[in-house]
Structure 1
């Protein structure tokens, strides 16, 4: 039940609005002044505010401005007499959801306006929730400067439009799921579901998660459709496919060959149309050659293989990735700390056994602990210990990175500060493996 706040000094009109809204099942609170309205807004959250344009000792625009600033998700519907419609139009420009003329032409006029505004609010909330879930489930960003990653992304783009199965290979934390999501998002199935299955689950749990179950099977409390069925018309992402046992390999191969499967506890064949993307941190080719993985299933899955290099082999991606993760982890209203040249150098020299995931977690910690900037000394001891003693080349490299950071990545200005030509600067950057643009220091927002 939505709560609606009515701000109206005309008692008769206020009671009319209350009666119509309560009759529709809404909870209606009423007050007469802007001050009372603000006090109510501080005390509780409302689904909608209905405010008169003209109020004692103030006006409805002040109410509108307060709710827009302090309760931005609460829409405001302005009510106005016929002669002040032009002022109501100005209120729309300030962010009012709509305006309503006085007197009402019919109760339905109010009902329809309120229903439309609240429906739009719910839609916006659902969209924001989905965006938040998307960020939670797919936290990594496809940021690539290194030539090997750029080649990988180009191959992924070419693979996306087809229905050919893709096998993504790489160490844990390199971004296999993100790459799979990238392929799905650039495919003709992008509007469909992207369903992930963790193939490292225990066999009984995996069987239920992948194929689903019928009501009553395995003493289950209810039916479960399974990810294979949920992904119909979309993409099924089989993460750590190399962990499947022999029986699950057999059942999966049968489902993929026949484009149909049976749920646990049922003999009914269910047709399915999915695009398969699999991922593994194991050497599946070797597993297939030694009999630990079905050769025919491997051949089907590896129709289009993609190999993601570990982060230690693409150090030029680290500055942009680190800056991205710092920005993502910084709380709203706080400026993201910048990376000092020393921190960038230290990060680029660390071997990253946990790959991109380890970098993301480290930047999340830095965003909490650091204020204006992240220095090498702010990084974990294990990372600092991996850095080499500074030689002449390191000193030159640090000076160049400092100049670039100071000029927000502008190479012409950085070269001028260093007293070298732009061509020399570009040569040095290429020599040091810095092919992308450094994240700019955080400035005023």
Structure 2
């Protein structure tokens, strides 16, 4: 089983004392003690792979009991929230610095000459803005922290960025797309922009088209992680957008159904991350960039199946089918529930930046095709097919706190 890990046994073995310490922390939690009662302390990667994986509910239970704190002299303990749009909110803990010293040692997209726009939202307990600020601080560059921007402010800010000689910008792909789409629509260019940092969502292919028009010299630099694991891996412009190189203190394992789990070997990690599953699937492979060692290719989430009237709906498959339609740049599934039952399922379509529209005839054709070809939809809405709808929108539904645009939104109807 050791070939399923991102680190070879000789490298990971000496660091497994951190995993053993994490196991003891989890055993100290009354609600989890029985789960790990018969588990021996992991001394090899095979031992580690035999431990039960930790899910989000288990981690929340552990954090509520342990109340992690940074060691004396390490600064404050920050609490950040993730989730809340499609799942229950989760809390992660981090010391001052947010573990970015280790990231910066391995990955340095910014340098002292950069003027960096930190476009990750700073409010409502989301850590990405502060994490990026810590990385930028280590690089010694100049930083513009813009915060939230309203629609009528984009043009003025973009003009300011061009005049200031902004060389780098960072944010979630959903937020970055707003910046570049507004710039493209207004005919504005950012000639000095060379670097685009991203974290929080998968890279969106349509960003490449906008970047080519607005900042043809810009190239992407990505991070992969979560509020619980913090940064697991990074990539460079020479790596595919879905492929990341794990940090030395992050042990990645590929398990059943290609599910990824993460074990943090950083002794200063506050969250007890031991075979922690985020719901992402992936594989280990050699990266085309040529960097030695296995890289992690992220294949997408395996928890995108939702119950619609007792049947499983594969949200990612529905979105992928819609995004193959001409003129559709992104799609989103909106489920409206009444008393816990799906009253309607709507497929929202965002048209492309080239202005290509999806007309009423195309929308109805797509709706009929999906309804007849998707077992869950055809069965669940057999008696009320009008409750499955497809409609173009000017913008998708985003999380006001983080700027993320989830593929699935569930809301309670009136």
Report the TM range for the smaller structure's normalisation. Answer: under 0.3
Higher helix fraction (1 or 2): 1
Higher strand fraction (1 or 2): 2
Structure showing greater radius of gyration is 1
